[in-house]
């Protein structure tokens, strides 16, 4: 799909993002209110620490803050519903009037319901709404007016977080991931969800080998052919460590390079840990695009 055929807008709750006006991918900042996330587990486990980190993201120009209360790293153990709610709801309450969109990173239907009621604008689900009640939670919130036409990010994952990296296998990773995402999006469309609310994520590192991940990045524009905004979540991922030989905290340069590669191949949302550095890179990327906006 050529760049001029990429989706023009994405409805994300209170926000209608206009990609033609923005002329760069949306930056989704990762806020892990967890003790065991692969990159920053424990750094923002208290509500006050998470809120302070979110405010730093806002100052750096973030578009969306993705709040998670349960790690989905390879081998991660699930947490109870109540523990997840205790981690995320105070953060949502503190940030809901911060001027940026809020996303809830969860697969639990009840967490979706309560987060939408509390004020989030987007549901970002690694299970692509396959867990019991998840589709209904999004539909109920929308029909009740609480979801404010929330944005929805559907991600591809082979198996589950506990087993996804045990010898992932594909005949054609691009074709299989595209087929899965297309079918999940079609289910939402059939249930009355507007197309401009749906975004897709091929799921770097979620049941993918290094070879799979590299191919997905090289051919990232293939995912844009489905007609939805495509999210690239590659920040600090293990594939970058395998290629560069760097530990998690030393993958900033590789993460920035991967973001620019994804943007060049049609990514319209990038999910990152390092918001300020990513914004700088995308400002430069934007400046060299054809027909730049005056003053950009």
- Find out whether 22 and 16 touch, Cβ atoms under 8 Å: no
Least confident of 43-47, 119-123, 244-248, 288-292: 43-47
Instruction: Name the residue ranges covered by the structural domains of the chain.
Output: 11-287
Joined tokens for residue 174: 């691009």
> What is the structure's pLDDT at 78?
82
- Find out whether 231 and 199 touch, Cβ atoms under 8 Å: yes
Query: Can you tell me the mean pLDDT for 91-111?
Result: 96
What is the third-level CATH fold of 11-287? Answer: TIM Barrel (3.20.20)
Is 237 catalytic? The answer is: yes
Percent residues over pLDDT 90 in the chain: 78
> What is the structure's pLDDT at 29?
98
Confidence of residue 294 (pLDDT cuts 50, 70, 90): very low
Pinpoint the alpha helices (H) of 119-267: 134-143, 173-190, 210-218, 238-244, 252-264
Q: Which residues is 125 bridged to in the sheet?
A: 154
Percent residues over pLDDT 70 in the chain: 86
Query: Can you tell me the mean pLDDT for 151-173?
Result: 82
Q: Is 202 exposed, middle or buried (0-12, 13-18, 19+ CB in 10 A)?
A: buried
- Find out whether 247 and 241 touch, Cβ atoms under 8 Å: yes
Exactly one of 73, 208, 237, 251 is catalytic; which is it? 237
pTM given for the model: 0.91
> What is the structure's pLDDT at 186?
98
> What is the structure's pLDDT at 255?
98
Is 178 catalytic? The answer is: no
Among residues 243, 229, 245, 180, which one has the least CA distance to residue 207? 180
pLDDT over threshold 60, residue 272: yes
């Amino acid at each position: 799909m050529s760049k001029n055929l990429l989706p023009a807008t994405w409805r994300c709750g209170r926000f209608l993002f206009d990609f033609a006006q923005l002329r760069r991918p949306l930056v989704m900042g990762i806020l892990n209110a967890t003790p065991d996330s692969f990159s920053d587990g424990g750094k923002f486990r208290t509500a006050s620490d998470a809120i302070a980190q979110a405010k730093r993201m806002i100052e750096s120009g973030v578009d969306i803050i993705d709040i998670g209360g349960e790690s989905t790293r390879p081998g991660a153990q699930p947490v109870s519903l109540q523990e997840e709610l205790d981690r995320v709801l105070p953060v949502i309450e503190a940030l809901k009037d911060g001027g940026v969109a809020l996303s809830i990173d969860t697969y639990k239907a009840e967490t979706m319901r309560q987060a939408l009621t509390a004020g989030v604008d987007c549901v970002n689900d690694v299970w692509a709404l396959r867990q019991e009640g998840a589709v209904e939670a999004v539909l109920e919130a929308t029909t009740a007016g609480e979801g404010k036409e929330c944005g929805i990010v559907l991600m591809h994952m082979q198996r589950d977080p506990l087993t996804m990296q045990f010898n992932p296998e594909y005949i054609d990773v691009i074709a299989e991931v595209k087929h899965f995402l297309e079918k999940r999006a079609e289910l939402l469309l059939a249930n009355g969800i507007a197309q401009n609310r749906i975004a897709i994520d091929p799921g770097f590192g979620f049941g993918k080998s290094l070879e799979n991940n590299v191919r997905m990045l090289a051919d990232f524009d293939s995912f844009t052919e489905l007609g939805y905004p495509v999210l690239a979540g590659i920040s600090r991922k293990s594939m970058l460590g395998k290629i560069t030989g760097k530990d998690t905290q030393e993958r900033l340069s590789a993460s920035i390079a991967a973001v620019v590669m994804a943007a060049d191949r049609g990514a319209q949302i990038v999910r990152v840990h390092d918001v300020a550095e990513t914004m700088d890179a995308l400002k430069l990327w934007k400046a060299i695009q054809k027909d730049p906006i005056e003053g950009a």
